[in-house]
Amino acid sequence: MRSSHVAAAFVLVAGAAVFGPGMSGQAPQGGGSAEAGFTDTPLVPGTAYHVHDPSRPRPAVITPAAQVGQPPSDAVVLFDGKDLSKWSAVTFGTASYTQGDAPAPWKVENGYFEVVPGTGGIATREKFGDLQVHLEWAAPASRRGNSQNRGNSGLFLMGLYEVQILDNHENPTYADGTAGAIYGQWPPLVNPLRPAGEWQSYDVVFEAPRFQGNTLMKPASFTVFINGVVVHNRKPSMGPMVYRDVAKYQPHPAEGPIGLQDHDHPVRYRNFWVRRLGGYDGKPLE
């Protein structure tokens, strides 16, 4: 207890030293000012910049959407309500996919697109590594079937790493196969699903795995929100999705498509956009 009181007092004093002169309009003590920044401060560990360094690159300015959930100005819009030109047909295999140039065989109507059962999956023509993706989906209101046989589809990052899409609202199934599950590995932290027929939103931050030759340097990881509720918090994936087996990594290219699964159910999608995810100071993530 005693040491935490000391720490709190230190923070208050430091705050007064930094903000005092700027707020009162006094001249800086040297090495900068509260308005311009400072160069006589310690380096931020792991960077080439001083604390409050005026030469540190400022973040790119983008325009947010008028409504949260709509695409900001730097998003790649993957479906604008009209056509599936950004997508093509794909066949998902065991920890693999085969994508050709054939048009996406799914249906577009009334501002959404819908799985046409039996036609196979679709994937984006553009490939991505680290990303933020937003999409909205709705399971058939009919609520036909049970467990995995009800409103089943799936979101595949890099064509390999699946976040499950399923109508398990009042429809029990195995935990690592519920909506939001990293399929076959990790159930979501909670189940915030709405009833079938209603739109559900997914927001996913995905970090691609890193390989050096045949060695895995960093696993893929997922941060996932369903309907605004966090269900995975930077959760490492064990490897590409496999069925009734334990996932394992195989080296693959640094970028891959975003895929959607045809699991024989007419699941609908709308408002689908993605942003490439960089790191601080405009550098790639490490």
Query: Which residues contact Mg ion by CB under 5 A?
Result: 152, 154, 263
Q: How far is the CB of 263 from Mg ion (least distance, A)?
A: 5
Q: How far is the CB of 178 from Mg ion (least distance, A)?
A: 10
Q: How far is the CB of 101 from Mg ion (least distance, A)?
A: 25
Question: What token pair was written down for 251?
Answer: 């080296």
Q: How far is the CB of 261 from Mg ion (least distance, A)?
A: 5
> Hey, CA dihedral for 5, 8, 14, 17, is it positive or negative?
negative
* Percent composition of the chain: helix, strand, coil (DSSP 3-state, to 5): 10, 35, 55
Say if CB 90 and CB 97 are below 8 A apart: yes
Minimum CB distance to Mg ion smaller for 53 or for 176: 176
Minimum CB distance to Mg ion smaller for 48 or for 175: 175
Minimum CB distance to Mg ion smaller for 50 or for 178: 178
Q: How far is the CB of 190 from Mg ion (least distance, A)?
A: 19
Minimum CB distance to Mg ion smaller for 165 or for 274: 165
Minimum CB distance to Mg ion smaller for 155 or for 220: 155
Q: CA–CA separation, 155 vs 272, rounded Å?
A: 12
The residue sitting closest to Mg ion, measured at its beta carbon, is 154
Minimum CB distance to Mg ion smaller for 267 or for 274: 267
Count CA within 13 A, CB hemisphere, residue 142.
10
User: How many residues can be counted in the chain?
Assistant: 286
Output the DSSP codes for 52-120: T-TTSPPPPP----SSBTB--TT-EEEE-SS--TTEEEEEEETTEEEEEEEEP--EEETTEEE--TTS-
Say if CB 255 and CB 129 are below 8 A apart: yes
Q: How far is the CB of 195 from Mg ion (least distance, A)?
A: 19
Strand segments (E) across 208-266: 210-212, 215-218, 221-226, 229-236, 259-260
Q: CA–CA separation, 131 vs 171, rounded Å?
A: 31
Minimum CB distance to Mg ion smaller for 112 or for 183: 183
Q: How far is the CB of 253 from Mg ion (least distance, A)?
A: 24
